[in-house]
Amino acid sequence: MAARQPWYRVLYIQVLVAIAIGVALGYFYPSAGKAMKPLGDGFISLIKMMIAPVIFCTVVHGIASIGDMRKVGRIGVKTLIYFELVSTLALVIGFVVAEVLHPGAGFNIDPAALDPKSVASYVTRAKEESFVGHLLAIIPNSYFDSVARGDLLQVLLVAILSGFAIAHMGAAGQKIAGAIELAGKMFFRIIGMIVKVAPIGAFGAMAFTIGSFGLGALVNLGYLIFTFYFASLLFVLIVLGAIARVCGFSILRFIAYIKDELLIVLGTSSSETVLPRMITKMEALGASRSVVGLVIPTGYSFNLDGTNIYMTLATLFLAQATNTHLTFAQEATVLLVAMLTSKGASGVTGAGFVTLAATLSIIPDIPIQALAIIVGIDKFMSECRALTNLIGNGVATVVISRWEGELDRDQLHAALAHPVDFGEEMERVPA
């Protein structure tokens, strides 16, 4: 049995301490807090630098190693069905909580008095992302352009095509798959090195957030923030909790199992920062490698539960805050539009705000300049979106693996009961 690490070398404790120091610095010395922004940005950039090659290697090798293309298609269909059902439940929960708690009641805001310049960039991006344009944007300019740009959907498209091609190449394809596996191991080793500086990144990101927006933003729109966190908690404990129980595990134990990753996400406001670690941890949890290699990368674009909750809840909040009455038909339209605009948004900070702007641009009754009300606190809600997205994708991986009959239940219960340190596990890659 390996010797227990000293408490000060445990990653989640380091991140917790870093977040606390970042909050204190940003609060007491705002200028110094703002100056820490490069630390957070630098860490996220280092991780994002590795996301595309890790996803490419994982998906390609996963498809190529399965061999049976009917099985790949079956897993893909099951995954998309599950994503659509759970994502819709997330949208409904955000909708219901907003209708019951009325977070925007009493604001009585005149949209004409708001400054549209503060949301102009988001509105422009939202208008540019039409449905047809979004579909065409999935196709990269060249084979290597997808990896170079780091666009998740483009990487997925190229990786899936490559995986299918390699699977049909026989012995030559197996040699290529072996080379991709070795490359993947190198990328995972690099990720393991980068993650060691996660506390520095969390410190910089949190210091900048508090230094820039202050705790006052939390007080001014505190009820909306509380409502969103409450809705997300309901979704995780009730919806994902029920799904986890049906699959034979506890959602609370699962959350404890991925606590390191959750704290990194809390500090950086981006679920992408822990994508490679989640791949490794889901394998160690007993989920099959083939399922992990397909579900986790796909979920980062198509299973954004936290973003879905945010979109319906924030839309109704803005309607309530501006005294905009929505008919039942308009509310149904919000749900339908949100189901479309939420797909394809990655886990990067600010993606949820862009998709919200896209939703409002299709529903003209709610003045789009009303986004200015929440632009100052979106950063605080971005953390909750990313946390919920991460938990949802982890649960989805276990569910699909069980659905395929490829979940090692003994390993699942053993891993949840006795979590281990994954500091050195990052050099592995799904085979």
The full set of domains in the chain, from first to last, is 7-427 (1.10.3860.10)
What are 307-318's pLDDT values in tens digits?
889 888 988 988
CA dihedral 170, 171, 177, 182 (to 10 degrees): 180
Tens place of pLDDT per residue across the chain (431 aa): 445 667 777 777 888 899 889 889 988 998 998 899 899 888 888 888 888 888 888 888 878 877 667 777 888 889 889 998 998 999 999 999 999 999 888 777 776 655 555 555 555 555 555 556 666 777 888 888 888 887 777 888 898 899 889 888 888 888 998 899 899 888 888 888 888 888 898 898 888 878 877 776 566 678 888 999 999 999 999 999 999 999 999 999 999 999 989 988 888 777 777 888 898 899 899 998 888 888 888 888 788 898 889 888 988 988 888 888 888 888 888 787 777 666 655 444 455 666 777 677 667 677 777 777 777 677 778 888 889 999 999 999 999 999 988 899 999 999 998 776 655 444 444 44
Interatomic CA distance for residues 345 and 271, integer angstroms: 12
Q: How far is CA 104 from CA 107, 108, 213, 309, in A?
A: 6, 9, 21, 16
Q: What pTM value is reported for the model?
A: 0.78
Q: Are 93 and 227 in contact (CB under 8 A)?
A: no
Residue 3 has a pLDDT of: 55
Q: Are 253 and 417 in contact (CB under 8 A)?
A: yes
Six-digit token string for 29: 């010395």
Interatomic CA distance for residues 108 and 347, integer angstroms: 33
CA dihedral 185, 16, 309, 37 (to 10 degrees): -80
